[in-house]
Amino acid sequence: MTGQRLGAGLFTAVVVLAGSVPSAFAHGDDGSSGPRVVADGLDNPRQLNRDQHGNLVVAEAGRGGTDCGEMGCAGPTGAVSLIENPGFGTPTVSTVAEGFLSMAGPDGSFAVGANGADATDVAGQYIVAGYDPAGPPMQNGSMLVAGTEEDGESYLIPYADLQAAEEELNPDGAQIESNPYAVLYVDEDDEVSPDGYALVADAAANTVWKVEPDFSTATEDALPEYEITVFATWPTPALPDGTDDPAGPAEFVPTSLTADKYGNVYVGGLGSERPGEASVVQFSADGTELGRWDGFTAVTGVAVDGKHLYVSQLFGPTPPLPPGETPAEEAPPTPGKVPGQVVVLHRHQEDATRYAIDVPLPAGLATGRHGQVYASVNSVAPAEGIAEGPQNPYGAIGGGAVWELDFSDAYRLQAAEATEE
C-alpha cells in the first residue's frame, strides 16, 4: 500500500509507527474498599493501554448511529479517550480521537468498531484497531492512525489493510473475514524515532498480525509502505464445505494483547465463548510460544505486572446461552446479577491458584505504576447503560466505565474453573 500525500508535520508524526492473591488496593486515606470509578460516560469501552506518561488509553467501540439495516445501526461514533492521572481521585478524561466507524444495536449496545487503541511514542498519536470509515461497514478491517497536528487539526488515516492481508494469506484456513479487536504498539528503543511496529489481534482471522513500516519507501509528503506478516495464528477446523465445525474444538479467537517489561507478548482468546475453553498464550518478541494458561471462559482482556497475570472473563465462568439451550449442568444467569469476572494468578508459579472478583462485563485491563489494576466495565453498553428487557436476562446494566479494581474480597476459584492442560 502506498501512503497518501500528507503535510510535513503530519508525516513526521506518522512515520514513527511501525500463589497468593495480590494485596488489597486501598483507595485514598479513608480505607474504603471496593472498586473506584476512574471514568464513566463511555460508549462500549474495550481495550485499555498506558501511554508513555502512564495515562490510560481507552478504545470506545462507539454506539452505532442512525444508518440502520440488518447488521445494526452504523455511525461515526467510535472514539479514543485519554484518562490522565488515573491513580488520583479526580482524573482528567478527554476525547483524543473520534469519528471511527461503529455498528451497534438500536440502543447503542454490543457495538463493534474501534475495539483497540494504543499510543505510539509520539505524544498525541494513536493507532487504532477498527474499520476504514470510507469502506463498507464492518467489512474492511484496518489499522488506523489518529492524532493532532501542530496547528491543532486532527487527522484519521486508514493505514494498514488487514482485510486484504486476510484475503491474501488466510492464516487460519477458515472464513475470509477481519475483525481487529486489540492493538499493541511495540517500541524498539527509548528514543522518539521511526522504529516501532504494531501487533493487531484479529478475532475473525484467528491471527495476530505484525505491521511493520518500510521507511525506505517514505517521502516528505507520503506515508511509508508497510508489510503485514503473521505473528501468531490458530488454525480453525473446517468441514469439507469450508464452514467451521461447531462440534469441533473451540476456536482461539484472539481478543486481547499486552506485553511485559521484557518484551514478551500475552494474547488472550475468546475460546468460542465455551466454558473453560479460552486461553492466554505467552510469546517471546519474535513470536515463539513460551507458555499458556488454559481453562478460562470468554477472555476479553489481559494485563501483567511483575508477578501476576490478570484476565477478564466477559461473562464470568459460564457464558449466557439462549433460553432452552442452557445445558442442565450449567447454571443459568442469575436474575438481576450482571455477569463477569477478573481472574488473577501468580504467573511464575506452576499450577498457580486462581482468584477472582466479580466485575460487570469486563473487557480491557491495564496495570498502573503503583500496583493499580484498571478494567473497562459494562463493556457492551453505551454511556447510559442498557435497560431491562426481553433481550437482557440480567436486568439493567450500567453505562460503560473504567474502574480501578480492589482484590480485597477476591475468592478462590474451584479447580474445575481453573483447569490447565
Judge whether 239 lies within some domain.
no
Judge whether 88 lies within some domain.
yes
Q: How far is the first Cα of the chain from the last one, in angstroms, to the nearest whole number?
A: 42
Q: Note the pTM of the prediction, 2 decimals.
A: 0.88
The β-bridge partners of 302 are: 311
Confidence of residue 240 (pLDDT cuts 50, 70, 90): low
pLDDT value, residue 10: 34
Mean pLDDT to the nearest integer, 95-122: 94
Is residue 16 scored above 50 in pLDDT? no
Judge whether 276 lies within some domain.
yes
Judge whether 21 lies within some domain.
no
pLDDT value, residue 30: 43
CATH of the domain at 154: 2.120.10.30
Is residue 22 scored above 70 in pLDDT? no
Q: How many domains does the chain have?
A: 1
Taking a C-beta distance cutoff of 8 angstroms, is the pair 89, 152 a contact? no
Judge whether 267 lies within some domain.
yes
pLDDT value, residue 376: 98
Judge whether 14 lies within some domain.
no
pLDDT value, residue 330: 44
Judge whether 346 lies within some domain.
yes
Range of the domain at 269: 35-234+246-326+333-417
Confidence of residue 332 (pLDDT cuts 50, 70, 90): very low
Is residue 146 scored above 70 in pLDDT? yes
Mean pLDDT to the nearest integer, 315-333: 55
Judge whether 240 lies within some domain.
no
